[in-house]
Amino acid sequence: MRRTARSAKLRVPLRLRLRRNRGRLLRRLIIAFLLLIVALCAAAVVAYRLTGIPDPHPETVTQSTVFVDDKGSYLGRRGPVDRQEVPLSQVPRYVQDAVIAAENRTFRTDDGVSPRALARAVLASLTGGERQGGSTITQQYVKNALLSPEQSLSRKAREALIAIKLDRTRSKDEILAGYLNTVYFGRGSAGIEAAARNYFGVDTRELTVSQGAALAGIVNIPSYYEKAGSDPEVTATLRARWEWVLDAMAASGSITAKQRAEAVFPAFRFYPPGATEGQRQYMIDVAAQEAADRLGITEDQLARGGYTVRTTFDLALQDATTEAVKDIKSGKGITLHTAVVGIVPGDGAVRLLYGGSDYARQPFNDAVGGAVEAGTALDPFAEFPLGAPLTALSKTPAPTPLKLASAYATVAANGMYAAPYTVTRITRDGRTVYTAHPDTRRVLDEKSAFLVSAQMSKSYGDALPAVPTAQRAPETVFTAGAGGGITRRTVWSTRLDPRLALTTALFADRPGKKKNTTVPAQLPNDPPPTETATETTAQIWRLATTGTG
C-alpha cells in the first residue's frame, strides 16, 4: 500500500504541479527581477561615482591666432585648428537660443541626456542598425570634446554617465560655452568664433539674428552646408532649415514676432576663398614674426595661443595693389619681381606690403627680404649728415624695399625716422597683452630733409622730362634705379607726402648655371621699366590717398 501511494503521488501531472507552484515561482521571479534592478542601480551608482569627467582632447582646446587689418577686417590665421575661444558673454543671447532651437530645445531644463535618444542608440548598437542622432547638447559636447569618436554601446553608456555628471556639476552656461567653442561648423571652423568669421566676416558678438539662425542650422550637417552662398541647391536647403530655426525661436519667445517678420536670409562669404587669400600670407608672415618677438614667445606658441593680432595693414589697399600689378609682364626666360611698400611718415606703420604674386609658388617676401641694387636710389641723401639707421643704409649697395621706403618716409616726416612696424595691438581672451608705440628719432634736421626732398623731385623731372611741370602732383615724386639707359637692372619709384611714403621696386632674375640658383637679369624694356614703375606707383597712390583708381 505504501508503494502504491507513493507511485500515485509521483504521477501527478506537471501542469498540475506548475499550477500548484505558480505563486511561489512568481514570487521568486519578482524577487529575482527586483534584485536585478537593485544590482543594476547599484552598478549604475558605482559606475557614476567611478566615472570622472575627462579633460578635453588637446585638439579641441587648441586655438589659432587670427590676424586682422587696421580696420578689423580678417586677414588670415595661424595654427593647426581654426578655433578661437570666446566667453559666452560675447555670444548674443539670440545666437545661443538659435543653437538650442536647432539642436536641443529642452537644453535648459533637461538632465543632460535624452532617454528616448539613448534608447534608440542602444537598440541600434544591439541590432547593428544605423547610428542614431538626437543627442542633447550636453551629450554632443561630451562626445565631441571629451571622448573618442568610437561608436560602441560601452562608449555610449559612458557618454551618458559623463553627461549626467557634467549637468549636475557644471552650470548650463558653462556647458553651452564649451559646446559653442568646440562644435564643428564646416569651412574648417571649430567653434562659433571661427564660424562667424569664415561665413560672415564678423566676430561672434557682431552676429545678427539671421546670421545666428543660419549658423545654428549648419551644425546639423556642416560638411554639406559649408557651400552655402556658392551652391544654389545647398543654399536653398539651408534656407528652409533657417526658416525652421527662426519659427522655433519665435514660438518659444526667443525672438519677437517683429524680429521674425523682419528676418532676411543672410549673405555668405564666398567659399572656397579667392586667390587673394594666398597673397596675404606675405603680410601674415611678417606680422607673426613681429608679434612673437613682442610677446617673447616662439611663432609656434603664437599660432596655438588664441591671440588676435591687429596689424597696420590696409586690406582694401593691399587687394587693390594686387590687381594693379598683376599685368606687369616678365620677359622671355626671366622672372620679374615687384615689391610695393607703403609707410606712414613719422609713425612707421606699414600700410601696404606687397611681397609677391603667389605665396604658394614663392614664399620668399621680396618686400622685406629682397636685396635689390640701390643704384641711384640713395643719391639724394649723399650730401647730408645722417643719423642711424640711415647712416648704415646709405652705405648699403642692396637695401630691401622696406628699408628704402622707411628712408623715404623720413624725408616726408621732415627728418624724423620711424622704425617700420606691422602690429598695433595683440589681445587674448578679450584682454590687451601688447600695444605698439612708435619708435622715432631725428636723423636729419628739417632743412636737410627739405633739401633731400628737393633733390628727389629734381631727379624725377630729369628722369621723366615728358611730364609737364603743371601736371606734377604736389607730393614728392622720385624715380631711380641701377643700370643706365635701356639696360636697367632695378627701378625704384617713390611718391611721398606727410600722409604716406609709397615705394615700388621692379627687378628681375634668371636661372643660374647651378641648379636651383638665380642671377640678376635685365628688366624687360617694352614698355620701359621706369615708365611702368612710375605709372604703377601713381595708380596705387591714387587708391591710397583718394580711394579712386
3-state SS string for 216-265:
HHHCCCHHHHCCCCCCHHHHHHHHHHHHHHHHHHHHHCCCCHHHHHHCCC
Alpha-carbon span 196 to 211, nearest angstrom: 8
Q: What is the DSSP letter of 424?
A: E
More confident residue, 134 or 174: 174
pTM for this prediction? 0.78
In a domain, 188, yes or no: no
Which amino acid would we find at residue 432?
T
Mean pLDDT of 161-170: 86
Residue 249 lies in a domain: no
Residue 392 lies inside a defined structural domain of this protein: yes
Q: Return the H-helix or E-strand segment holding 19.
A: helix 14-50
Q: Which of 43-57, 338-352, 371-385, 457-471 tops mean pLDDT?
A: 338-352
Residue 472 is predicted with a pLDDT of 39
Residue range of the domain that includes 478: 310-420+439-545
Q: How far apart are the first and last CA of the chain?
A: 127
Please, which pLDDT band fits residue 469 given cuts at 50, 70 and 90? Answer: very low
In a domain, 41, yes or no: no
Residue 153: per-residue pLDDT:
64
Residue 291 covered by a domain: no
Alpha-carbon span 415 to 518, nearest angstrom:
37
Q: Quick check: 325 and 338 in contact, CB under 8 A?
A: yes
Least confident of 4-13, 51-60, 109-118, 482-491: 4-13
Q: For residue 256, is it within any domain?
A: no
Q: pLDDT category, 8, cuts 50, 70, 90?
A: low
Number of H helices, E strands in the chain: 22, 13
What is the pLDDT confidence band of residue 471, given thresholds at 50, 70 and 90? very low
Could you tell me if residue 481 is inside a domain? Answer: yes
- Higher-pLDDT residue of 500, 519: 500
Per-residue burial over 103-114, b if 16 or more Cβ lie within 10 Å, else e, is bbeebeebebbb
| Residue whose entry in the numeric block shows the C-alpha cell 555628471 | 165
Residue 114: the pLDDT is: 77
pLDDT at 135: 84
Give the residue from 257, 268, 253, 265 showing the smallest Cα distance to 94. 253
Q: Write down the mean pLDDT value for the chain.
A: 84
Phi/psi for 508 (5° steps) reads -140, 160
* Residue tagged 594666398 (cell numbers): 278
CATH number of 463's domain? 3.40.710.10
Number of domain units in the chain: 1
Query: Binning pLDDT at 50, 70 and 90, where does residue 466 land?
Result: very low
Alpha carbon 50 to its chain's center: 40
Q: Which of 436-440, 481-485, 509-513 has the lowest mean pLDDT?
A: 481-485
pLDDT value for 273: 60
**Residue 403 pLDDT greater than 80, yes or no:** yes
User: What pLDDT, in 10s, does the model give residues 277-295?
Assistant: 567 889 999 999 999 999 9
